[in-house]
Amino acid sequence: MLHVRVICPSDTTEAALAALRAEPGATLITVQRGAAVEPAGDVLAADVARESVNDVVAALEALGISRDGGIVLGPIDTTLSESADRAVAEAPGDPSDAVVWQALLAETRDESTLSPAFLAFITIACLLAAVGVATDSPVTIVGAMVVGPEFGPLAALAVSLVRKDFALARRSALALVVGFAVAMVITWVATLVWEQFGWLTLDSVDRIHNVEFIYQVGPFSLVVALLAGAAGMLSLVTSKSAALVGVFISVTTIPAAGFAVVAATVGEWSKAFESIGQLGVNMVGIVIAGWIVLQLRPRHGSEGGPLDRLKRWWISAG
């Protein structure tokens, strides 16, 4: 369940309460008259089953509350209530299938913003990848995978395709293009400096064997990207962030960028372009998989997705 807190003008309170009471997945509803200071109004709160959150938010937004007041969604760790249990049971669908769109949009917008922090993380990750390539160190490559922040904008692109949110798509594409460009240029300069100091003595990437998988594009490059993208999107929509770590260390996006830089500094342009190809395959695969996952999941509280409709058909046919 999610905790929904609403601040609304007093003249819309009764309509908001009616919307909450009409939703079978909403329970533990409270109201505090005149408790809101800025903006002034009343405060309503309810615990809502994940499957019903989209319907509740849509009803409240139709009252203009998001414009004149505010709607806040928050997680609930533990609820001991038979009323809450009944609300979850009566809500259409299954909690694990529910996509809370407003929460997903908010998270992907935050993760896809081109900011100094994003540039810092992607640059550090690319530098780590370059060191891992130059020293033939798989452990350092894994470290670069974990540090890289590129999954956020890629997930946002998948969400923007489903929601037809072109502003989010532009924001995500900008973060990826500028982020990788800045990171690779800085890594290029750093690699040349390291070579001047004699810290890196690599004269050909042909000597690299432990991390050569980075630039070798094959059918499993796309398979791994698709699987990782699906797992990553599932972890976002179900709020199970632990799975994201596995996603980060299974795709070669940041390592491919670092490998391309190192290969270019030693004149191995064919390997550099192969690495860019690997980068493109992984990014496209992640976005496609994320889009597929969202298409197969219910999009709106009582509106089932393809799998849910197939389940209902199977039950009725039996």
Q: What is the pLDDT of residues 80-102, one digit of tens each?
A: 899 998 888 888 766 666 788 88
Sign of the Cα torsion 92, 162, 234, 236 reads negative
Q: Between 101-111 and 219-237, two packed helices, what is the crossing angle to 10 degrees? A: 120
Angle, alpha carbons 246-224-151 (nearest 5°) = 55
Q: What whole-number distance in Å separates Cα of residue 71 and Cα of residue 155?
A: 24
Give me the pLDDT at residue 1, please. 85
Q: What whole-number distance in Å separates Cα of residue 70 and Cα of residue 8?
A: 7
Give me the pLDDT at residue 181, please. 96
- HSE-up of 79 (CA within 13 Å, CB side)? 19
Tokens at residue 250, please?
């299974």
C-beta of residue 68 within 8 angstroms of C-beta of residue 12: yes
Residue from 9, 112, 99, 108 nearest 57 by CA:
99
CB neighbourhood size of 262 (10 A)? 27
Domain 2-98: CATH superfamily is ACT domain (3.30.70.260)
Q: What whole-number distance in Å separates Cα of residue 36 and Cα of residue 116?
A: 35
Q: What whole-number distance in Å separates Cα of residue 147 and Cα of residue 40?
A: 43
Domain-wise residue ranges, the chain: 2-98, 102-296
Low-confidence ranges of the chain (pLDDT < 70): 93-97, 201-207, 209-210, 239-250, 298-318
Helix/strand/coil (H, E, C) string of 14-36?
HHHHHHHHHCCCEEEEEEEEEEE
C-beta of residue 69 within 8 angstroms of C-beta of residue 15: no
Rounded alpha-carbon distances, angstroms, from residue 137 to 14, 43, 198, 214, 257: 63, 56, 18, 12, 16
First to last CA, the chain: 31
Give me the pLDDT at residue 315, please. 43
Give me the pLDDT at residue 249, please. 63
Give me the pLDDT at residue 94, please. 67
- Report the residue count for the chain: 318
Going across the sheet that includes 26-36, the strands are 26-36, 41-48, 2-8, 70-75
Give me the pLDDT at residue 298, please. 58
Tokens at residue 165, please?
């949110």
With H, G, I as helix, E, B as strand and everything else as coil, classify residue 72.
strand
Q: What whole-number distance in Å separates Cα of residue 159 and Cα of residue 292?
A: 10
Query: Alpha carbon 272 to chain centroid distance?
Result: 28
Q: Which helix (H) or strand (E) holds 48?
A: strand 41-48
C-beta of residue 253 within 8 angstroms of C-beta of residue 120: no
CB neighbourhood size of 9 (10 A)? 17
